[in-house]
């Protein structure tokens, strides 16, 4: 920015602030219905930005003009607005807002709006929703089942998470960001999954430098969920339009906790818990007959010996039967005074998995500081340093028996895997290439991350009068992470000894830097005697990202050597990525007496990821909300709120880095270096994927908002989707990315809330949420294609445009063998849709006997398709739990299920998928969260601790404690061998059991 | 003050300006299409040698499996045993379609090289012809392997513009087209001077000049001729190759490997999860004392496969044990057997028998004592080819060109011998979309 301009800006700011008038002083105390003082309540003179907040004892002090109206607002409580008149003391009691109608949610890059005036269905979850019941490992884990319109699938049950988050269907068909944009206190944070070479080590994706089969955590795992005050989910383009070019998959705005001022409070929290496998999958019995009929009769003596010695062992339970330990510790300090407020929180999350030597540790320290320099200038600084350490073990796809999910299905119970007295692990039985205990105990798959999140905001109020205000704001920050991953397979492992170069070690470093800075000006004015409030905001944004990744891979390692640089064969890899995005935006909001609230805005964005790197793309938006209950008096006492709302907006998704490049790659033969073209051609005319969304709905509140509801319908259209134009591969070109498809997502989201019982001794709040989404491809300018999975035998995602007769297809439809017409190579059998028919959640919160709080969150996902190869492995290995039975649908009653299923696929007579190797359609019901807390009453605390301890809360909670599912093709229908993808995510292969977690909680405030 | 520092520091100059990001990782294809330097053409040509290995391991395992000479006991992938043996439906989008698609890239490399030589003045005409001769030779070889996998589906002979490929030609047209590429290559090698502009990989020792490399080109053309059953043409080509009835049967160019990147290690090594085994029925039927049995190692305990199908064999392949082991492209042994086949087809039983006995003697076996009718000799040659060219991708193709697929012994009763691989799904879809 031009220096001269800045200087004049500051001069201008300095001049106008001098003109702010001084008036009479108002003091008072704010408390809740029980008479407890409320610290941190915002007290604001209406029509101005003059305000104060209450101190630790609930007291405030504020200078107000004569006859002013003063508003009192506090998160979780209903706001009040009171005419001061000539009083100099004003004590106020706020009532709790169970419906969160008063909470403020973002409506633009620089502006906010009260929920009751909002035109979009923005889901807001506060810390109580996220971490109040139980302690999730990661932030995305805390979302599951709580957001209408979200399809959140856990990729793996290994500690450290890994989640695929989709809002309102799929917004890309794979070429753009499939995951929402996460913004923490104004800092755009990275949520990538970074390869570490694991799938090269076990040959799941042999030879590839980067793979989606490494099964790593997405980096949102670094963020400590306990630091979060609230999240707001902008699910569609209509709400997220002002975020422009990165917002196609939605935006999640995370606000962390801040100091509220007043007395310094020290909070200590401790969780202790454990985790266990929810279910096992193997365990079929072995007999001599079974070996003779279906396996190798030569192994009968081994079976007899194991039976005789008592060494017959179910190895699945040995590997997965462990107990994980959960230990989370938090120590937070908040406080401050009128000018400076602070929040400092240090936390240690330490969780081990059910599999020995797996675990996740996160050490996080955060300091959020707010300071008022003058009454017109304030700033805040948010600093977060995180170290995470993740041992993920060996799960998922594999081509060398290293992953437990591959070796265990084939391991016979009569084989011994335990090490001998010298610690040497025996080889697995015939045909199985690795001993899972040796891998568990000796191999390393570790990922560490060092990360800094640094944000800042500076607000300068240039004008601050009763009728208008002008604020200049600069905010932004950076997200820097330095990942370090190690893989080691010792050279004497069974799987390695037969390699030409035994042993595998890889050291991967990944450096990712994101920075963003935003300048904005916000002008508010009240016109028509304060009945119409106008807010104008405008500004510019600049984002920059780079990634630098490299590894050293060594194979042919001497015994005991884990340093990849000392392998016989050393391979290196370096990759760079870089992009810059620039945007400018303007928005006008208008509010007429809280009756009619309108907003229009536009953003222009350009990005170096587009072919036309210097071209601005426009993203307009408009929204209107009408609070019908505020017109006249018709609503009476019954209808406390009735809001009609409609919103429209546009967003985009960017091409991934490198889409425009046609590369020459390097090969070698006999010491000579050569150049060969990549099989993927670059496209120098690539444009962003653009989406438009029209969202409309009704919000209502009945009986003084005791019953509330929010019904939303949306129609999201995505245009110019980037698709691989899959060329005939015998041309030597497999694909190029082109803007070739359109799709629509239509859906319904309904959430209700009711205070079923509201009494001082017992209250019961129930919140059912229902949603579904239907996607269909409305244009496809490339040949129909299959993607994801492992070929049509097991099922793949089909991308297919409308038929000549107008039939449209869902991009998440799963198709596979057999063909319905053997002569037609693409006449696949359809196995339903990977998106659920609908999803349902039921949240219950019960408080009883004043100090007890119980909550339960049920989540039901109805009929979605899962591609599973897991059962195939267990059936081939002879170990599936029902292998010996003969009762499967379609079986002849004589053949073992495990044999029958290996040769069954397709649909049965009634059109249901057979229990073979084909995809299947399943549902589940999970008790996602359940908790019971007890708050020790204040009088008791006072007696024992005096004034030292202000609050003690104890409780128990659980995560995924109960599950019902008709899934029989593996451990759990929630799964993804391929990590987080728009298409192709939900493939169950070599997975490990789903896990239930139980915790005991203690929280003490000093 | 703080603000202006931050703003100034983070956005410098005009905060709305962006600059194009040039690929920070690799050069672009465009760099060689216009006035390529000698170093670039050398690199493209070396790339051609490297890419000649593309798809090869899948091709050898697929053709070997379908021809029932070998099986891939792959513990983590039962589809090698089930789908390729007709026990489950063949999948036109599965990994094994690399046996067709893997040969697309060498063809494209050749086309890029040919285009680059036509659009440069950095090298002499002789040098241009050297690059072209190498490119066309490998183009012909890649197409021939692709066609072997696809059989009567044919191949697309013109893919210069990957967005406007020709339709697949018939089998006969495809063979004729491949012969043309090889003939073009041969005449370009004739005009390529005495030496190549760069040194060839060590696997081509003995074929390092344009004139000796042409013998390799003619050997591939000879294969095409016998597939065409054009015995007169084959008889003309035979002496232009490195055929020698008295020489070492193992002579011939080979693909070399090295595990150190950017080179690759031999892809056919047996591992803990993938063991390439000889089909029991094939090796049990071999004559006692056949030295060619050393290609497999008989195990004391048979190896048993139980995923999807149950099958046991004691024969574990023994041909590739080190990451540096080369894989032959075409050997003199094949040329001698082709010589025998030409003679038999031209009703020269004496010459056919003489050449069969060259092979049998080398294998430590007594002379051929069977009937000398044409059919008997052809059957005898096919049998020798089975053992001589085991694991080199011939059995299935040989039995197919003589319409004898039904004579292949099925090791498991309900197995089938596929006549060809399916056209890969992306090929089908492309034609559907671009009729």
Is there a single domain that holds both residue A642 and residue A745? yes
> CA–CA separation, A643 vs B415, rounded Å?
68
Task: Quick: pLDDT tens for B250-260.
Answer: 999 999 999 88
Residue A254 located in a structural domain: yes
The whole-number pLDDT of residue A101 equals 61
Q: Kindly report the nearest CA distance between residue A572 and chain B, in angstroms.
A: 8
The whole-number pLDDT of residue A65 equals 80
Say if CB A515 and CB B10 are below 8 A apart: yes
Tell me the helices (H) and strands (E) count for chain A, helix number first.
13, 47
Q: Whole-number mean pLDDT of chain A? A: 88
Given a cut of 70, whether residue A21 has pLDDT beyond it is no
More confident residue, A810 or A242: A810
> CA–CA separation, B104 vs A732, rounded Å?
4
Number of domains in chain B: 1
Say if CB A296 and CB A405 are below 8 A apart: no
Residue A892 located in a structural domain: no
Residue A888 located in a structural domain: no
> CA–CA separation, A503 vs B53, rounded Å?
25
Write the CATH number for A88.
Answer: 2.60.40.1120
Given a cut of 90, whether residue B45 has pLDDT beyond it is yes
Residue B238 located in a structural domain: yes
> CA–CA separation, A259 vs A333, rounded Å?
9
The whole-number pLDDT of residue A40 equals 77
Question: Could you list the residue range(s) of the whole structural domain that residue B399 is in?
Answer: 35-255+325-433
Given a cut of 60, whether residue A862 has pLDDT beyond it is yes
> CA–CA separation, A896 vs A881, rounded Å?
11
The whole-number pLDDT of residue B1 equals 45
Question: Could you list the residue range(s) of the whole structural domain that residue A47 is in?
Answer: 23-97
- The alpha helices in B192-325, defined as continuous H runs, are 210-227, 231-237, 280-284
Task: Quick: pLDDT tens for A490-503.
Answer: 999 999 998 889 99
**CA B355 centroid distance within chain:** 25
Given a cut of 50, whether residue A7 has pLDDT beyond it is no
Buried b (16+ CB within 10 A) or exposed e, A455-485: bbbbbbbbbbbbebbbbbbbbbbbbebebbb
Q: What is the mean pLDDT of residues B322-342?
A: 97
> CA–CA separation, B94 vs B56, rounded Å?
16
> CA–CA separation, A214 vs A719, rounded Å?
31
Chain B, residues 97-156, CB within 8 A of chain A, namely: 100-101, 103-109, 111-112, 146, 155-156
Which of B9, B16, B85 is the best residue to mutate to test the A interface, defined by the most A CB atoms within 10 Å of its own CB? B16
- Is B89 within 8 Å of A819 when comparing Cβ atoms? yes
Say if CB B224 and CB B234 are below 8 A apart: no
Q: What is the pTM of this model?
A: 0.84
Chain A, residues 276-305, CB within 8 A of chain B, namely: 294-296, 298
Where is average pLDDT lowest: A4-18, A89-103, A290-304, A345-359? A4-18
The whole-number pLDDT of residue A17 equals 39
Q: Which of A63, A97, A131 is the last residue of a domain?
A: A97
Q: What is the mean pLDDT of residues B206-234?
A: 97
Q: Kindly report the nearest CA distance between residue B433 and chain A, in angstroms.
A: 5
More confident residue, B405 or A106: B405
Q: Which of A49, A77, A97 is the last residue of a domain?
A: A97
Q: Which of A73, A97, A121 is the last residue of a domain?
A: A97
The whole-number pLDDT of residue B290 equals 96
Going by pLDDT thresholds of 50, 70 and 90, the confidence category of residue A85 is confident
Residue A923 located in a structural domain: yes
Q: What is the mean pLDDT of residues A93-108?
A: 70
Given a cut of 90, whether residue A785 has pLDDT beyond it is no
How much helix, strand and coil, in percent to the nearest 5, is found in chain B? 50, 10, 40
* % of chain B with per-residue pLDDT over 70: 97
Going by pLDDT thresholds of 50, 70 and 90, the confidence category of residue B48 is very high
Is there a single domain that holds both residue A198 and residue A91? no
Task: Quick: pLDDT tens for A548-600.
Answer: 999 999 999 999 999 999 999 998 999 999 999 999 999 999 999 889 999 99
The whole-number pLDDT of residue A34 equals 65
Going by pLDDT thresholds of 50, 70 and 90, the confidence category of residue A8 is very low
Residue B278 located in a structural domain: no
- Is A681 within 8 Å of B7 when comparing Cβ atoms? no
- Is A296 within 8 Å of B306 when comparing Cβ atoms? yes
More confident residue, A395 or A751: A751
Buried b (16+ CB within 10 A) or exposed e, A313-345: bbbbebbbebebebebebebbbbbeeeebbbbb
The whole-number pLDDT of residue A97 equals 67
Is there a single domain that holds both residue A574 and residue A705? yes
Residue A128 located in a structural domain: no
Q: Which of B198, B322, B429 sits opposite A783 (nearest CB)?
A: B429
Going by pLDDT thresholds of 50, 70 and 90, the confidence category of residue A98 is low
B303: helix, strand or coil? strand
Residue A315 located in a structural domain: no
Write the CATH number for B405.
Answer: 1.25.40.390
Residue B409 located in a structural domain: yes
Is there a single domain that holds both residue A734 and residue A592? yes
- Is B20 within 8 Å of A673 when comparing Cβ atoms? no
The whole-number pLDDT of residue B13 equals 63
The whole-number pLDDT of residue A211 equals 59
Bridge partners of A445, per DSSP, are A487
Q: What are the backbone dihedrals phi and psi of residue A241, each rounded to the nearest 5 degrees, phi first?
A: -55, -35
Residue B83 located in a structural domain: yes
Number of domains in chain A: 2
- Is A10 within 8 Å of B4 when comparing Cβ atoms? yes
Q: What is the DSSP letter of B296?
A: E
The whole-number pLDDT of residue A38 equals 82
Is there a single domain that holds both residue A831 and residue A923? yes
Residue B427 located in a structural domain: yes
Q: What is the mean pLDDT of residues A845-869?
A: 92
Task: Quick: pLDDT tens for A912-958.
Answer: 999 989 999 999 999 999 999 999 988 888 888 888 888 899 999 99
> CA–CA separation, A958 vs A996, rounded Å?
7
Buried b (16+ CB within 10 A) or exposed e, A926-963: bbbbbbbbebbeeeebeeeeeeebbebbebebbbbbeb
Burial class (CB within 10 angstroms; exposed 0-12, middle 13-18, buried 19+) of A81: exposed
Helices B125-150 and B210-227, packing angle to 10 deg: 30
Burial class (CB within 10 angstroms; exposed 0-12, middle 13-18, buried 19+) of B433: middle
Chain A, residues 184-223, CB within 8 A of chain B, namely: 203, 207
User: Residue A715's CB: how many other CB atoms inside 10 A?
Assistant: 16
- Is A1 within 8 Å of B101 when comparing Cβ atoms? no
- Is B105 within 8 Å of A679 when comparing Cβ atoms? yes
B23 neighbourhood in chain A, CB within 8 Å: 658, 661, 663
Residue A715 located in a structural domain: yes
Closest CA to B405 of B382, B422, B435, B434: B382
More confident residue, B264 or A985: B264
Say if CB A156 and CB A635 are below 8 A apart: no
**CA A757 centroid distance within chain:** 33
Could you tell me which chain A residue has the CA closest to the CA of B52?
A669
Say if CB A112 and CB A234 are below 8 A apart: no
Is there a single domain that holds both residue A634 and residue A779? yes
Is there a single domain that holds both residue A78 and residue A187? no
Given a cut of 90, whether residue B201 has pLDDT beyond it is yes
The tokens 């015995």 sit on which residue?
B231
* % of chain A with per-residue pLDDT over 90: 57
Q: What is the mean pLDDT of residues B237-244?
A: 97
Residue B137 located in a structural domain: yes
> CA–CA separation, A78 vs A84, rounded Å?
19
Residue B147 located in a structural domain: yes
Residue A885 located in a structural domain: no
Write the CATH number for A352.
Answer: 2.40.170.20
**Lookup: tokens for A986:** 């939900």
Task: Quick: pLDDT tens for A628-653.
Answer: 988 888 877 788 889 999 999 999 99
């Amino acid at each position: 920015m031009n220096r001269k301009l800045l200087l004049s800006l500051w001069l201008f700011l300095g001049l106008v602030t001098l003109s702010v008038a001084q008036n009479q002083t108002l003091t008072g105390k704010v408390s809740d219905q029980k008479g407890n003082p409320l610290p941190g309540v915002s007290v604001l003179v209406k029509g101005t930005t003059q305000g104060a907040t209450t101190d630790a004892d609930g007291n405030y002090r504020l200078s107000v003009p004569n006859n002013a109206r003063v508003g009192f607002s506090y998160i979780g409580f209903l706001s009040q607005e009171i005419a001061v008149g000539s009083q100099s003391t004003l004590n106020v009691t706020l009532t709790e807002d169970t419906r969160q109608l008063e909470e403020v949610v973002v409506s633009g890059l620089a502006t906010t709006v009260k929920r009751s005036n909002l035109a979009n269905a923005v889901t807001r979850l506060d810390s109580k929703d996220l971490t109040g019941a139980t302690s999730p490992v990661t932030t995305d884990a805390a979302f599951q089942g709580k957001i209408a319109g979200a399809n959140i699938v856990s990729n793996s049950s290994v500690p450290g998470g890994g989640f695929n988050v989709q809002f309102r269907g799929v917004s890309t068909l794979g070429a753009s960001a499939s995951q929402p944009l996460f913004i923490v206190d104004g800092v755009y944070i990275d949520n990538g999954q970074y390869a570490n070479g694991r799938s090269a080590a076990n040959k799941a994706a042999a030879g590839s430098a980067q793979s989606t089969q490494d099964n790593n955590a997405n980096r949102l795992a670094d963020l400590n969920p306990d630091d979060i005050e609230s999240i707001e989910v902008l699910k569609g383009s209509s709400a997220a339009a002002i975020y422009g070019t990165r917002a196609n998959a939605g935006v999640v705005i995370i606000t962390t906790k801040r100091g509220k001022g007043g007395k310094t409070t020290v909070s200590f929290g401790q969780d202790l818990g454990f985790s266990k496998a929810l279910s096992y999958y193997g365990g079929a019995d072995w007999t001599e007959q079974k070996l003779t009929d279906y396996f190798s009769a030569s192994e009968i003596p081994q079976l007899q010996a194991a039976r005789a010695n008592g060494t017959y062992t179910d190895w699945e339970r040995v590997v997965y039967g462990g107990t994980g330990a959960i230990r989370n510790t938090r120590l937070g300090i908040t406080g401050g005074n009128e000018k400076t407020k602070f929040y400092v929180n240090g936390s240690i999350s330490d969780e081990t998995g059910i599999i020995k030597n797996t675990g996740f540790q996160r050490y996080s320290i955060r300091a959020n500081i707010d300071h008022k320099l003058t009454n017109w200038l304030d700033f805040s600084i948010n600093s977060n340093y995180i170290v995470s350490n993740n041992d993920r073990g060996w799960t998922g796809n594999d081509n060398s028996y290293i992953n437990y999910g591959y070796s265990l299905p084939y391991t016979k119970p009569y084989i011994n895997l335990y090490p001998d007295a010298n610690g040497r692990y025996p080889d697995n039985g015939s045909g199985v290439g690795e001993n899972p205990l040796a891998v568990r105990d000796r191999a390393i798959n570790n990922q560490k991350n060092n990360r800094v999140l640094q944000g800042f905001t500076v607000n300068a109020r240039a004008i601050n009068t009763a009728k208008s205000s002008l604020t200049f704001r600069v905010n932004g920050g950076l997200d820097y992470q330095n990942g370090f991953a190690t893989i080691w397979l010792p050279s004497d492992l069974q799987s390695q000894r037969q390699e030409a170069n035994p042993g595998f070690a890889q050291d991967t470093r990944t450096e990712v830097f994101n920075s963003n800075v935003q300048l904005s000006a916000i002008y508010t004015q009240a016109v028509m005697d304060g009945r119409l409030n106008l807010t104008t905001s405008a500004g510019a944004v600049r984002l920059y990202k780079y990634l630098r990744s490299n590894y050293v891979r060594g194979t042919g390692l001497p015994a005991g050597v884990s340093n990849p640089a000392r392998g016989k064969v050393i391979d290196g890899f370096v990759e760079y990525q870089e992009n810059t995005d620039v945007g400018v935006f303007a928005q006008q909001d208008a509010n007429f007496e809280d009756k009619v609230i309108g907003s229009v805005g536009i953003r222009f964005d350009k990005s170096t990821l587009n072919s036309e790197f210097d071209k601005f793309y426009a993203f307009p938006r408009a929204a209107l909300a009408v609070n019908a209950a505020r017109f006249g008096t018709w609503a009476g006492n019954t209808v406390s709120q009735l809001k009609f709302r409609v919103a429209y907006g546009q967003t985009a998704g960017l091409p991934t880095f490198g889409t425009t490049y046609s590369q020459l790659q390097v090969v070698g033969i006999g010491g000579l270096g050569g150049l060969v073209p990549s099989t993927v051609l670059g496209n120098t005319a690539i444009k962003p994927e653009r989406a438009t969304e029209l969202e409309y709905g009704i919000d209502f509140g009945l009986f003084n908002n005791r019953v509330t509801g929010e019904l939303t319908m949306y129609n999201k259209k995505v245009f110019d989707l980037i698709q691989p134009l899959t060329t005939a591969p015998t041309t030597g070109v497999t694909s190029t990315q082109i803007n070739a498809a359109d799709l629509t997502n239509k859906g319904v989201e309904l959430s209700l809330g009711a205070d079923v019982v509201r009494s001082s001794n017992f209250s019961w709040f129930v919140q059912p949420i229902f949603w579904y989404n239907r996607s269909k491809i409305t244009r496809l300018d490339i040949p129909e294609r299959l993607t994801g999975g492992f070929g049509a035998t097991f099922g793949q995602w089909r991308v297919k445009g409308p038929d000549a007769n107008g039939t449209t297809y869902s991009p998440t439809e799963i198709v596979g063998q057999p063909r319905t017409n053997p002569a037609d190579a693409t006449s696949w059998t359809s196995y339903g849709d990977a998106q659920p028919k609908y999803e349902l959640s039921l949240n219950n919160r019960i408080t009883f006997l004043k100090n007890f709080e119980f909550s339960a969150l049920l989540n039901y996902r109805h009929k979605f398709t899962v591609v599973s190869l897991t059962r195939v492995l267990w059936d081939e290995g002879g170990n599936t739990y029902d292998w010996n039975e003969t009762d499967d649908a379609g079986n002849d009653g004589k053949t073992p299920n495990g044999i029958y299923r290996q040769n069954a696929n397709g649909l049965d007579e009634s059109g249901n998928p057979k229990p073979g190797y084909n995809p299947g359609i399943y549902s589940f019901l999970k008790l996602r969260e359940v908790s019971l807390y007890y708050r020790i009453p204040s009088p008791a605390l006072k007696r024992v601790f005096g004034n030292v301890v202000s609050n003690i809360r104890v409780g128990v909670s659980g995560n995924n404690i109960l599950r019902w599912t008709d899934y029989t093709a593996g451990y759990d229908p929630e799964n993804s061998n391929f990590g987080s993808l728009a298409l192709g995510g939900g493939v169950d292969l070599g997975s490990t059991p789903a896990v239930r977690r139980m915790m005991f909680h203690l929280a003490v405030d000093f | 003050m703080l603000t202006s520092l931050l703003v100034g520091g983070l956005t410098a100059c005009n905060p709305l300006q962006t600059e194009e990001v040039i690929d920070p990782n690799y050069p672009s294809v465009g760099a060689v299409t216009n006035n390529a330097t000698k170093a670039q053409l050398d690199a493209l040509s070396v790339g051609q040698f490297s890419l000649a290995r593309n798809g090869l391991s899948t091709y050898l395992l697929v053709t070997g499996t379908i021809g029932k000479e070998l099986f891939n006991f792959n513990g983590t992938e039962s589809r090698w045993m089930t789908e390729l043996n007709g026990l489950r439906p063949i999948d036109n989008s599965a990994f094994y379609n690399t046996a067709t698609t893997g040969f697309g890239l060498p063809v494209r490399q050749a086309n890029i090289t040919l285009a680059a030589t036509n659009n440069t003045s950095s090298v002499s005409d002789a040098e241009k012809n050297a690059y072209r001769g190498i490119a066309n030779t490998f183009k012909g070889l890649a197409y021939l392997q692709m066609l072997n996998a696809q059989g009567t589906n044919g191949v697309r002979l013109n893919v210069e513009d990957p967005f406007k490929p020709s339709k697949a030609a018939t089998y006969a047209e495809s063979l004729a087209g491949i012969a043309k590429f090889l003939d073009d290559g041969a005449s370009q090698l004739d005009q390529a001077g005495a030496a190549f502009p760069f040194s060839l990989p060590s696997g081509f020792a003995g074929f390092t000049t344009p004139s000796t490399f042409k013998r390799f080109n003619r050997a591939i053309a000879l294969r095409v001729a016998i597939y065409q059953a054009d015995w007169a043409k084959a008889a003309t080509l035979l002496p232009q190759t490195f055929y020698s009835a008295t020489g070492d049967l193992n002579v011939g160019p080979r693909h070399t490997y090295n595990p150190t990147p950017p080179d690759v290690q031999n892809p056919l090594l047996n591992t803990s999860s993938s063991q390439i085994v000889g089909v029991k029925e094939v090796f049990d039927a071999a004559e006692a004392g056949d030295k060619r049995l050393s290609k497999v190692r008989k195990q004391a305990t048979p190896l048993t496969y139980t995923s999807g199908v149950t099958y046991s064999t004691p024969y574990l392949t023994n041909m590739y044990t080190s990451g540096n082991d080369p894989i032959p492209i075409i050997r003199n042994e094949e040329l001698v057997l082709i010589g025998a086949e030409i003679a038999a087809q031209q009703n020269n039983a004496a010459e056919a028998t003489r050449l069969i006995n060259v092979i049998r003697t080398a294998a430590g076996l007594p002379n051929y004592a069977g009937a000398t009718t044409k059919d008997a000799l052809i059957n005898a040659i096919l049998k020798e080819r089975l053992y001589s060219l085991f694991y080199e991708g011939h059995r299935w193709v040989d039995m197919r060109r003589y319409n004898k697929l039904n004579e292949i012994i099925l090791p498991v009763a309900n197995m089938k011998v596929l006549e060809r691989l399916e056209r890969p799904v992306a090929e089908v879809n492309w034609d559907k979309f671009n009729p």
